[in-house]
A and B are shown apart, each in its own frame.
Chain A
Amino acid sequence: MTLQQAKPPLPSADKRWKLVNATMRRNGYAGHALIETLHSVQDAFGFLDEISLRFVAASLDLPLSKVFGVATFYHIFMLKPKGRHTCVVCTGTACYIKGAGELLDGIQARYEVAPGETTQDDRLSVLSARCVGACGLAPAAVLDGDVLGKQTSDTLIAKLEELD
């Protein structure tokens, strides 16, 4: 019989930790709930920092190395905070054929950021996605959760300029 370790205290009084804890409790603190838990950390905080990785590792009784390994293996998990706005440019095949490269080039030329980077003023993070499944509307981008279909470099940049 393995001795159950005491669960670590929440890292801070931030209420969002309770959401994370709820996910782990729902899964009985089982190690296989790791990916679910990381999703809930990212949903609550926007990214995964060292404090959260350590907390999750201790709570699920997993080596920190394994938690870090999983967090870095999957593309969706971010280890750095994002900017105030996020623009995801789809680079799926249909979007590629219809000019996703031009969208990225346009953004690069205007804001000097490549996919995966954030502007100096923390205003905009640019990401690329493998396929957002909006192939009928190619080329597509997702701006703060809203899918923008049939974009050109000019229309997309006009949208980005409108952001605060």
Chain B
Amino acid sequence: MHLEDLAEKAAEFRAEEAGIQREVRVCVAASCQSSGSLAVMEALEDACGDGKGTCRVKGVGCMGLCSAGPLVSIADKDCSLDESVLYRDVTPADAPEIMGSVCGSPVERLRCPTDQPFFARQHKIVLENSGFIDPDSFKGYVAVGGYAGMVRALSEMTPADVLREVTTSGLRGRGGGGYPTGLKWSTVAKMPAGQKYVICNADEGDPGAFMDRAVLESDPHRVLEGMAIAAYAVGANKGYIYVRAEYPLAVERLQTAIRKAKRAGFLGSKVADTQFSFEVEIRLGAGAFVCGEETALMASIEGLRGQPRPRPPYPAESGLWGCPTLINNVETFANIAPIVREGGDWFASIGTERSKGTKVFALAGKIRNTGLIEVPMGTSLRDIIEIIGGGIPDGKAFKAVQTGGPSGGCIPEAHLDIPVDYDSLKTLGTMMGSGGMIVMDETSSMVDVARYFMEFCMTESCGKCIPCRTGTWQMHGLLDAIAKAQGTHADLALLEELCEVVQATSLCGLGQTAPNPVLSTLRYFRDEYEEKLQRAEL
């Protein structure tokens, strides 16, 4: 199949819908569903009538502003979210009024302005189709140019060409580590031909992070397309998607997407009428945070306890069942199709010198606009929190923003002006992580936050190596005593020493980074620890 054939197909799918002029788009991603968007959609469909008119009701993926859900947008068929009329907090009772306004003047009382910074300041690559296409529709994805990256790679590029584009793009792993994607792919590609695997890590375990979930629920074909391009580039023919069992909706949408792509000949044997074959299988996680670590994840796919093993050998050399394995995060794969479609240079022109492209962040906690945003790398934290996020509600003062989940740290007000990228966050003692950002106001105690994360790491430790298994337990005990104002200065000194030991000697990332929340809160909020110690001495 050539690009012209695909374009023809896309035109054909668009022609099938030529009669439709206006669309009423209802968010059916998990967050809005929890707020009752399915009932809203049903009411809108009832109000719409027999559906033979020029307007249709369509379920779409995440529109970003989760705190205002259920969200409904009304637009001309080809218009994006920015150009639509957006309604917030919609209830089924509002349906007749909304349908009545489709071609007339908007319902002002429900309106959510789309020119506010939350929408206007975003730059969407990963989420370009999110909130726009029906995630369960294969035709919908192809109609907006989907699978063009894959068909271009298969019909016009050699695997080496694909590797070159990905390397040129400067894309770095979006799971948190920030390892250059092109380099990782090249290592797997260089391994001798034979059985190789591609794994998509969708075990989004960081509490407070829901980017991957939104991508899978809003645009699952994009992830499959990215995986197929990766498999072609490295010479693999089998892929696994390891998804958390806690994300049933994402699993369901992925299953539908795989089935439909297969039926259309875009997955399976002879993909898009070429000699390339690629099978994808879903594997469910079972609620173990450590399985986000790549070697533990592979053990889990093999049906074992999810315990990591020492590296090297790296998965690129010896991964799943001892075969060379490429393992990337959902968001990384979601960036691949646009890179192949538009070229690596285009991607490299966005972002900062060492971190290219955009990043999806999940804003949560004490912030006015909670939800998903995608901004270019290098956007300052202050812009993200105060302008896009709308600041802190209830007149409270900002205290810290936590990034990187249990492996990351807290950033205080004084450092909010740094541009966000992999390296700048590292210098602040935290990390990019997968993209969760939790904002805390003056009422949050930083010692409690450190204890919370240590409790998390303690219960999630897999138990294989001693520094992590007993170190996190000891540190939690010390933090608990300090938080209850029962600790001593000796406890604090011991805590700091343990942080160093656990960081230096643990087997995998979970243990090595477990002390980060303690170290970063000690670095910026030491006075809160001191105050607790003084209260203990009284």
Is there a chain B Cβ closer than 8 Å to A10's Cβ? no
Inter-chain contacts of A91 with B (CB < 8 A): 207
Q: Which of B234-276 contact A (CB under 8 A)?
A: 245-247
B495 to chain A, nearest CB (A): 21
Inter-chain contacts of A148 with B (CB < 8 A): 34
A25 to chain B, nearest CB (A): 16
1/0 contact string of A123-146 vs chain B (CB within 8 Å): 000000111111111101000001
Inter-chain contacts of A76 with B (CB < 8 A): 245-246, 285-287
Is there a chain B Cβ closer than 8 Å to A34's Cβ? yes
From the candidates B287, B362, B440, B444, name the one contacting A130 in the complex (CB within 8 A): B287
Is there a chain A Cβ closer than 8 Å to B30's Cβ? yes
Inter-chain contacts of B490 with A (CB < 8 A): none
How many B residues touch A, CB cutoff 8 Å? 51
Is there a chain B Cβ closer than 8 Å to A69's Cβ? yes
State A75–B205 Cα separation when bound (angstroms): 13
Q: Which of B365-373, B422-430, B479-487 contacts A (4 or more CB under 8 A)?
A: B365-373
State A137–B208 Cα separation when bound (angstroms): 11
Q: Which of A70, A94, A147, A148 has the most CB of B within 10 A?
A: A94
Q: Which of B195-228 contact A (CB under 8 A)?
A: 204-210, 213
Do residues A74 and B287 form an inter-chain contact, with CB atoms below 8 A?
A: yes
Do residues B208 and A92 form an inter-chain contact, with CB atoms below 8 A?
A: yes
Inter-chain contacts of A96 with B (CB < 8 A): 207, 452
Is there a chain A Cβ closer than 8 Å to B300's Cβ? yes
From the candidates A97, A146, A149, name the one contacting B440 in the complex (CB within 8 A): A97
Inter-chain contacts of B213 with A (CB < 8 A): 133
Q: Which of A53-97 contact B (CB under 8 A)?
A: 69-70, 73-77, 91-97
Inter-chain contacts of A97 with B (CB < 8 A): 365-366, 438, 440, 444, 449
Inter-chain contacts of A146 with B (CB < 8 A): 34
Inter-chain contacts of B462 with A (CB < 8 A): 73
Do residues A138 and B288 form an inter-chain contact, with CB atoms below 8 A?
A: no
Do residues B305 and A135 form an inter-chain contact, with CB atoms below 8 A?
A: no
Is there a chain B Cβ closer than 8 Å to A22's Cβ? no
State A73–B304 Cα separation when bound (angstroms): 9
Do residues A69 and B305 form an inter-chain contact, with CB atoms below 8 A?
A: yes
Q: Which B-chain residue is minimally distant from A67 (CB atoms)?
A: B303
Inter-chain contacts of B210 with A (CB < 8 A): 131, 133-136
Do residues B365 and A32 form an inter-chain contact, with CB atoms below 8 A?
A: no
From the candidates B287, B301, B370, B452, name the one contacting A75 in the complex (CB within 8 A): B287
B282 to chain A, nearest CB (A): 10
Do residues B456 and A130 form an inter-chain contact, with CB atoms below 8 A?
A: yes
A-B contact count (CB 8 A): 134
Q: Which of B324-370 contact A (CB under 8 A)?
A: 362, 364-366, 370
State A147–B66 Cα separation when bound (angstroms): 14
From the candidates A31, A134, A137, name the one contacting B303 in the complex (CB within 8 A): A31
Do residues A129 and B245 form an inter-chain contact, with CB atoms below 8 A?
A: no
Do residues A93 and B31 form an inter-chain contact, with CB atoms below 8 A?
A: no
From the candidates A31, A73, A98, A137, name the one contacting B366 in the complex (CB within 8 A): A98
Do residues B287 and A147 form an inter-chain contact, with CB atoms below 8 A?
A: no
Q: Which B-chain residue is minimally distant from A60 (CB atoms)?
A: B303
Inter-chain contacts of B284 with A (CB < 8 A): 35-36, 39
Is there a chain A Cβ closer than 8 Å to B164's Cβ? no
B97 to chain A, nearest CB (A): 24
Q: Which A-chain residue is minimally distant from B35 (CB atoms)?
A: A149
From the candidates B31, B206, B302, name the one contacting A134 in the complex (CB within 8 A): B31
A31 to chain B, nearest CB (A): 6
Do residues B34 and A93 form an inter-chain contact, with CB atoms below 8 A?
A: no
Q: Which of B289, B364, B462 has the most CB of A within 10 A?
A: B364
Is there a chain B Cβ closer than 8 Å to A107's Cβ? no
Is there a chain A Cβ closer than 8 Å to B277's Cβ? no
Q: Which B-chain residue is minimally distant from A131 (CB atoms)?
A: B207
Inter-chain contacts of B300 with A (CB < 8 A): 35
B234 to chain A, nearest CB (A): 22
State A96–B347 Cα separation when bound (angstroms): 37
From the candidates A34, A70, A129, name the one contacting B246 in the complex (CB within 8 A): A129
B86 to chain A, nearest CB (A): 16
Do residues B205 and A73 form an inter-chain contact, with CB atoms below 8 A?
A: no
Do residues A32 and B306 form an inter-chain contact, with CB atoms below 8 A?
A: no
Do residues B30 and A32 form an inter-chain contact, with CB atoms below 8 A?
A: no
Known contacts A69-B305, A73-B305, A74-B286; is A136 also within 8 Å of B67 by CB?
A: yes
Do residues A131 and B205 form an inter-chain contact, with CB atoms below 8 A?
A: yes
Inter-chain contacts of A114 with B (CB < 8 A): none
Inter-chain contacts of A113 with B (CB < 8 A): none
Do residues B34 and A135 form an inter-chain contact, with CB atoms below 8 A?
A: no
A–B complex contacts, Cβ < 8 Å, 29 sampled: A32-B303, A34-B304, A35-B300, A36-B283, A73-B305, A74-B286, A74-B287, A76-B246, A76-B287, A93-B436, A94-B365, A95-B207, A97-B440, A98-B366, A130-B246, A130-B289, A131-B207, A131-B246, A133-B204, A133-B247, A134-B31, A134-B210, A135-B209, A135-B364, A136-B66, A136-B370, A138-B364, A138-B365, A147-B30
Apart from A35-B284, A70-B304, A133-B30, 9 more pairs, CB < 8 Å: A31-B303, A36-B303, A75-B286, A97-B365, A97-B438, A97-B449, A135-B208, A136-B210, A136-B371
The 7 closest A-B pairs by CB, nearest first: A136-B66, A92-B207, A74-B286, A147-B34, A94-B364, A75-B287, A76-B287
